[in-house]
Structure 1
Amino acid sequence: MNITFEVNGRDIGIAGDADRTLDLLAIDAGVPLDRRCGGKGVCRRCRVLLGPGRYRVQGVDREVPEGGEVEGFACLTRAVSEGCRVRVPASSLIEEKGQIGIDFRTGSFQFGARTRRLCVEVPAPTQDHPRADRERLLRAIETGAGMKDVRVPLTMMRELPLLLNGVAETVTVTLSRFNHQWYMVRAERGDTTDAPNLAVVTDIGTTTVVCALVDLNTGAVLDKVSRYNQQIRLADDVASRISLAETPAQLEEMRRLVIGESINPLIEQLCARAETEPDFIHRLVVSGNTVMMHLFLAIPPVHIGRIPFQPAAHVHEQYWAAESGVEIHPRGVIDLVPAISGYVGGDLTADIYVSGLHRREQGIAALIDIGTNGEIVLAENGSLWAAATAAGPAFEGAGLRHGSRAAEGAIEHIRLDGEGNISLSTIGDVPPAGICGSAIIDFIAELNRRGWLTPAGRYVREKLEAAGRAVEIEEGGHKLLACVLADAESSASGEPIVVTEGDVAEVLKAKAAIYAGMQTLLRARGLGFEDLEQLILAGGFAQYVDLRNAMEIGLLPRLPEERVESIGNGSLAGAYLAAVDEDACRTYQTIVHRPRIIPLNLQPDFEDDFIDALSLPEGDAVC
Structure 2
Amino acid sequence: MAKVNFTSHGVQVEAKNGESLLAVIRGAGIFIDAPCNGNGSCGKCKVKIINGQVNCSKSNHISEEELAQGYVLACCSTVNGDVDVEIPSTADDAMHNMKIEDLGGEKEKIIFKEAIEKLKENGIKLGINIKKSFLQIPEPTLDDNISDVDRLIRQVRNTLGCGNVQCGLSVIKNIPHILRKNNFNITITYIEEENNINIINIEGNDTSNKLYGVAIDIGTTSVAACIINLNSGDIIAKASSGNAQIQYGADVINRIIYAGKKDGIKKLNDAIIKYTINPLLAKMYRESSIESHEIASFVVAGNTTMSHLFLGIQPDYIRMEPYIPAFLSSPYIKANELGVDVNPETTIYLAPSVASYVGGDITAGALASGIWNSEENVLFIDLGTNGEIVFGNREFLMSCACSAGPAFEGGEISCGMRASSGAIEKVEIDKNTYEPKIQIIGEEKPIGICGSGIIDLIYQLMVAKIIDRRGKIVKGLNTPRVRFDEHGMGEYILAFKEEYNIEKNITINEVDIDNFIRAKGAVYSGISSMISSVGMDFDCIDRLYIAGGIGNNLDVESSIMIGMLPDIPRDKVKYIGNSSLIGCYLTIMSKEAKDKLEEISSGITYLELSVEPGYMDEFVSACFLPHTDIERFPTVKQLLGE
CA gap of 1:86–1:170, structure 2 versus 1, over 3 A, is closer
Residues 469 and 164 of structure 1: CA distance in aligned 2, closer, same or farther (over 3 Å): closer
Alignment pair present for 1:46 and 2:61: no
2:527 is matched with which residue: 518, 542, 561? 518
Pairing 1:275–2:289 present? yes
Give runs of aligned pairs for residues 406-425 of structure 1, distance below 5 A.
406-419=419-432, 420-425=434-439
Pick the aligned partner of 2:410 from 392, 397, 400.
397
Q: Please show how residues 127-146 of structure 1 align to structure 2 within 5 Å.
A: 133-134=148-149, 136-146=151-161
Alpha-carbon deviation of 1:480?
Answer: 2.4
> Structure 2: how far apart are the matches of 1:235 and 1:424?
29
TM-score normalised by length of structure 2: 0.88
Look up the equivalent residue of 1:483 and give its one-letter code: Y
Q: Map 1:66-145; keep pairs closer than 5 Å.
A: 69-80=69-80, 82-93=81-92, 94-101=94-101, 102=103, 103=108, 105=112, 106-108=115-117, 109=120, 110-123=125-138, 133-134=148-149, 136-145=151-160
**Structure 2 residue aligned with 1:470, among 482, 498, 503?**
482
Q: Which residue of 2 aligns with 1:263?
A: 277
Unaligned 5+ segments in structure 2 are: 637-642
Greater Cα offset, 308-317 or 252-261: 308-317
Structure 2 Cα separation of the partners of residues 201 and 168 of structure 1:
35
Supply the distance in 1 between the matched residues of 2:482 and 2:177 (Cα, whole angstroms): 78
Give the CA deviation at 1:167: 12
Q: Is it true that 1:171 corresponds to 2:151 in the alignment?
A: no
Following superposition, the deviation at residue 73 of structure 1 comes to 1.6
1:431 match: secondary structure = coil
Kept after mapping to 2: 8 A contact 1:491/1:497: no
Question: What's the secondary structure of 2:238's corresponding residue?
Answer: strand
1:345-399 per-position Cα deviation (integer Å, ceiling 9, x unaligned): 0001111111111112x44221111122211111156111111111100110111
Instruction: Please state how far the C-alpha of 1:585 moved relative to its aligned partner.
Output: 0.9
Aligned amino acid, residue 75 of structure 1: C
Q: In structure 1, what is the Cα distance between the partners aligned to 2:575 and 2:162?
A: 41
- Aligned residue for 1:440, secondary structure, equals helix
Q: Is the 8 A contact 2:376 2:543 kept in 1?
A: no
**Cα–Cα, structure 1 residues 263 and 352, in superposed 2: closer, same or farther, change >3 Å?**
same
Aligned partner of 1:387 among 400, 420, 423: 400
SS of the aligned residue for 1:315 comes to: coil
Question: Which whole-Å CA distance do the structure 2 matches of 1:188 and 1:428 have between them?
Answer: 44
CA drift of 1:138 comes to 3.8
Q: How does 1:439-588 map to 2 (within 5 A)?
A: 439-462=453-476, 465-472=477-484, 478=487, 480-491=489-500, 493-588=502-597
1:466–1:591: structure 2 CA closer, same or farther, 3 Å change rule?
Answer: same
Which AA in structure 1 matches 2:372?
H
| Deviation at residue 192 of structure 1 after TM alignment | 2.6
Are residues 1:328 and 2:335 paired? Answer: no
- 1:600 paired residue among 597, 605, 609: 609
Task: Using the TM superposition, give the Cα deviation of residue 545 of structure 1 relative to its aligned residue in structure 2, in angstroms.
Answer: 0.3
SS of the residue aligned with 1:151?
Answer: strand
Q: Is the Cα contact below 8 Å between 1:537 and 1:565 reproduced in 2?
A: yes
CA displacement 1:486-533 (0-9 Å, x = unmatched): 111234642111111111111111101111001011111111112211
* Number of the residue aligned with 2:366: 352
Q: Distance in 2 between matches of 1:180 and 1:341?
A: 35
**Can you list the C-alpha shifts for 1:10-53, whole angstroms capped at 9, x where unaligned?**
66443343322221122233432211110011111012344565
Q: Distance in 2 between matches of 1:579 and 1:42?
A: 42
For the structure 1 residues 373 and 182, does the alpha-carbon distance in structure 2 shift closer, same or farther, using more than 3 Å as the test?
A: farther
Using the TM superposition, give the Cα deviation of residue 428 of structure 1 relative to its aligned residue in structure 2, in angstroms: 0.6
Greater shift, 243-252 or 564-573, is seen at: 243-252
2:382 maps to 1:373 = no
The sequence identity of aligned pairs, in percent, is 30
CA RMSD of aligned residues (A): 2.8
Give, in whole Å, the separation in 2 of the partners of 1:181 and 1:202: 28
Instruction: Answer whether contact 2:372 2:394 (CA < 8 A) is retained.
Output: no
Displacement after TM superposition at 1:219 (Å): 1.6
Is the Cα contact below 8 Å between 2:2 and 2:14 reproduced in 1? yes
Count of residue pairs brought into register by the alignment: 609
Q: Does 1:306 align with 2:320?
A: yes
- The 1:307–1:69 alpha-carbon spacing in structure 2 relative to 1, beyond 3 Å, is same
For 2:349 and 2:96, how far apart are their aligned partners in 1?
A: 27
- Superposed displacement of residue 92, structure 1: 4.3
Q: Which moved more, 1:32-41 or 1:164-173?
A: 164-173
Change (3 A) 1:49 1:139: closer
Distance 2:470 2:58 in 1: 36
Closer/same/farther in 2, CA of residues 52 and 546 from structure 1, 3 Å limit:
same
Q: Residue 343 of structure 1 aligns to a residue in which SS? A: coil
CA distance in 1, matches of 2:44, 2:253: 18
- Assess if the C-alpha contact under 8 Å between 2:179 and 2:185 holds in 1: no
Q: Which amino acid in structure 1 is aligned with residue 416 of structure 2?
A: G
Is residue 206 of structure 2 the alignment partner of residue 191 of structure 1?
A: yes
State whether residues 2 and 17 of structure 2, in contact with CA within 8 Å, keep that contact through their aligned partners in structure 1. no
Question: Does structure 2 conserve the Cα–Cα contact (< 8 Å) formed by 1:4 and 1:11?
Answer: no
1:35 corresponding residue in structure 2: 34
Task: Evaluate the alpha carbon distance shift between residue 150 and residue 217 of structure 1 in structure 2; reply closer, same or farther with a 3 A threshold.
Answer: farther
Which residue number in structure 2 is paired with residue 149 of structure 1?
A: 164
Deviation at 1:344, TM superposition (A): 0.8
Secondary structure at the aligned position of 2:380 is classed as: strand
In 2, Cα distance between equivalents of 1:409 and 1:178: 51
Higher helix proportion: 2
AA partner of residue 370 (structure 1): L
Q: Kindly indicate whether the alpha-carbon contact (under 8 Å) linking 2:364 and 2:582 is maintained by their aligned counterparts in 1.
A: yes
Tell me which residue corresponds to 1:26: 25
Supply the distance in 1 between the matched residues of 2:172 and 2:55 (Cα, whole angstroms): 61
Deviates more, 1:49-58 or 1:434-443: 49-58
Partner of 1:318: 332
SS in 2 for 1:428: helix
- Give the match's secondary structure for 2:280: helix
* Alpha-carbon separation, structure 2, partners of 1:178 and 1:78: 58
Amino acid at match of 1:466: N
Structure 1 position 302, deviation (Å): 1.3
CA 166–372 in structure 1, closer or farther in 2 if over 3 Å, else same: closer
Question: Which residue number in structure 2 is paired with residue 245 of structure 1?
Answer: 259
In structure 2, C-alpha distance between the alignment counterparts of 1:411 and 1:179, rounded to whole Å: 55
CA distance in 1, matches of 2:321, 2:412: 27
> Is 1:207 aligned to 2:221, yes or no?
yes
CA contact (8 A) 1:353 1:574 kept: yes
